[in-house]
Amino acid sequence: MTTSSPTTRRFGPWRRWAGLVQAALFLGLPFVTLRGESAVRFDVPSLRLHFLGATLWMDEFFVLLLALLAASFLFLLVTFVWGRVWCGWSCPQTILGDLTGALASERARKRPRRGKLALAWGTVTLVSVVFSAATLWYFVTPREFFTRLVGGDLGPVLGWSWVVLGATLFLDLAFVRGRFCATTCPYAKLQGVLFDRATLVVAYDGRRDAECIDCLACVRVCPTGIDIRDGLQAECIACAQCVDACAPILAKFGKPTLVDYFFGAPGERPRLLRPVVVALSVASALAVGGTVAASVRAGRESLDLTAAFSSRFSPRLGPDGRVVNAYEVALENRGRSPLHLVLALAPDRGEASVSPAQVDLAAGEHRRVLLVVSASGLGPGPVVQAELTATDPGGDTVRARVPMFLPRIP
């Protein structure tokens, strides 16, 4: 993107609108419910992730690994093509820094105005309190959070998490700000590796260096304190504030801005379609497709069943000569409706009855049941393999293979 005629266009308003939309989305998403659950929330007690109407249980978290792989490929693709667009337009550090920019502006004045300065400090405090609380809403529902807050029952975990997050965010927005991007952010350090000669960057057009009037407007507005005229630097977050500062000044002289977005170095022909971009596009598409397929597959089973022989119960013979075994059975209803389950056990030989033969599970309920099995006709041999089944009213059946042990007869 280059400028071919004098202009006073500004990227700042667009960035601010983008930041406000993303901030509103972050604050509002926890209040959205889909299929009776939060749109996005990790429920710590049950170790379940609710995401846009789907629910992932702990043993299905391999889907998150695939999602992380897909996000990594997409992140690399975006970086190779559009550079640090994330840093300048979507990073929370940048967005919240823009929302609290009045503090930096007032402190930069030779004589800060007390009223404005107090309001700026209040804004930083409010943003820190609200956004740290919103972070917790992705682990507990806002309704639960506010109910416990009003009742004075946040508890040590939730309460101290809010205090620590809020204090950290306050110190960052009040004192660190853009210096984090310049000194600490690991993504900034990777910039030189992830960029190539056709990546979108904010750059100074050195071919027109003689036109620079050395007003230093681009330096004064830079949130990380760099001089864009020194070339591409790891500290640059591509926020385009230097473009907004330079364009109106050069327009007064009838000249286009010296600083702008360029695909590669100013004056070079952009090459958007190149091998690394094609490779990352293919890898991203495959990773996203794999994540979607795994998510669909993971969400098919509404019932989870695991069973193991009970170590607290030794095999024995009943009064009627039947063999009696016991199993620890774990049942988990992963659906959103209650289940009435019919339990049965079928040995490879003989026949068996179970107690209890029916179990009711509420939506999302996890229950451990001691299942007592009485069998006959098992024949010789110390162990008989059997199939345990749990069938719901809809006819769906979940199976588990378990051993039946014959008691030792003196």
Evaluate if residue 216 carries a pLDDT over 90: yes
Quick one: average pLDDT of 341-355?
91
CATH of the domain at 392: 2.60.40.10
Identify which of 65, 84, 266, 91 has the alpha carbon closest to the alpha carbon of residue 193: 84
Evaluate if residue 162 carries a pLDDT over 90: yes
- Given pLDDT bands bounded at 50, 70 and 90, which one contains residue 106? confident
Q: How many structural domains is the chain composed of?
A: 2
**Per-residue confidence (pLDDT) for residue 262, from 0 to 100:** 92
Unique residue bearing structure tokens 């110190």 = 171
| Contact assessment for residue 121 and residue 103, using Cβ atoms and an 8 Å cutoff | yes
Residues 311 and 278 placed together within one structural domain of the fold: no
Residues 183 and 309 placed together within one structural domain of the fold: no
Residues 72 and 198 placed together within one structural domain of the fold: yes
Q: What angle do CA 63, 66, 71 make, to 5 degrees?
A: 125
CA distance 52 to 113: 46
Selected residue with higher pLDDT from 258 and 300: 258
Unique residue bearing structure tokens 């009970």 = 310
Assess if residue 360 is contained within a domain.
yes
Give the contacts of 16 (CB within 8 A, at least 6 positions apart): 98
CA distance 96 to 90: 10
User: Domain range for residue 311?
Assistant: 303-405
**Taking the mean position of all CA atoms in its chain, how far away is CA 2?**
35
Which tokens hold the place of 367? Answer: 């229950």
**Per-residue pLDDT reduced to its tens digit, 183-201:** 888 888 787 778 888 899 9
**Per-residue confidence (pLDDT) for residue 395, from 0 to 100:** 77
- Given pLDDT bands bounded at 50, 70 and 90, which one contains residue 297? low
CA distance 193 to 188: 10
Quick one: average pLDDT of 114-118?
88
Residues 94 and 189 placed together within one structural domain of the fold: yes
Residues 202 and 81 placed together within one structural domain of the fold: yes
Residues 318 and 261 placed together within one structural domain of the fold: no
Evaluate if residue 11 carries a pLDDT over 60: yes
- Given pLDDT bands bounded at 50, 70 and 90, which one contains residue 301? low
Residues 281 and 322 placed together within one structural domain of the fold: no
Residues 370 and 235 placed together within one structural domain of the fold: no
- Given pLDDT bands bounded at 50, 70 and 90, which one contains residue 379? confident
- Name the percent of the chain lying above pLDDT 90: 54
CA distance 259 to 246: 7
Quick one: average pLDDT of 325-332?
92
Highest mean pLDDT pick, 130-144, 271-285, 329-343, 361-375:
130-144
CA distance 91 to 86: 6
- Given pLDDT bands bounded at 50, 70 and 90, which one contains residue 337? confident
Highest mean pLDDT pick, 5-14, 61-70, 167-176, 362-371:
167-176
* Cis peptide bond upstream of 356, omega within 30: yes
Residues 272 and 311 placed together within one structural domain of the fold: no
Concatenate the DSSP letters of all residues of 115-145 into one string.
Answer: HHHHHHHHHHHHHHHHHHHHHHTTTS-HHHH
| Contact assessment for residue 182 and residue 235, using Cβ atoms and an 8 Å cutoff | yes
**Per-residue confidence (pLDDT) for residue 48, from 0 to 100:** 82
Residues 240 and 372 placed together within one structural domain of the fold: no
**Per-residue confidence (pLDDT) for residue 409, from 0 to 100:** 58
Write down the H helix ranges in 252-323.
Answer: 275-298
**Per-residue confidence (pLDDT) for residue 5, from 0 to 100:** 46
Evaluate if residue 276 carries a pLDDT over 80: yes
Quick one: average pLDDT of 75-102?
92
**Per-residue confidence (pLDDT) for residue 30, from 0 to 100:** 95
Evaluate if residue 6 carries a pLDDT over 60: no
Which tokens hold the place of 396? Answer: 């769906």
Assess if residue 156 is contained within a domain.
no
Assess if residue 117 is contained within a domain.
no
Assess if residue 33 is contained within a domain.
yes
| Contact assessment for residue 128 and residue 166, using Cβ atoms and an 8 Å cutoff | yes
Evaluate if residue 114 carries a pLDDT over 90: no
Quick one: average pLDDT of 109-117?
85
Assess if residue 151 is contained within a domain.
no
In the predicted model, what is the mean pLDDT of the chain?
A: 88
Assess if residue 345 is contained within a domain.
yes
Assess if residue 318 is contained within a domain.
yes
Assess if residue 127 is contained within a domain.
no
Q: What angle do CA 128, 130, 136 make, to 5 degrees?
A: 105
Of 288, 312, 339, the residue that ends a domain is 288
Quick one: average pLDDT of 351-366?
90
26 φ, ψ to 5°? Answer: -65, -40
Selected residue with higher pLDDT from 301 and 35: 35
Identify which of 371, 340, 375 has the alpha carbon closest to the alpha carbon of residue 355: 371
Of 288, 320, 337, the residue that ends a domain is 288
Residues 189 and 278 placed together within one structural domain of the fold: yes
Of 240, 260, 288, the residue that ends a domain is 288
Residues 276 and 336 placed together within one structural domain of the fold: no
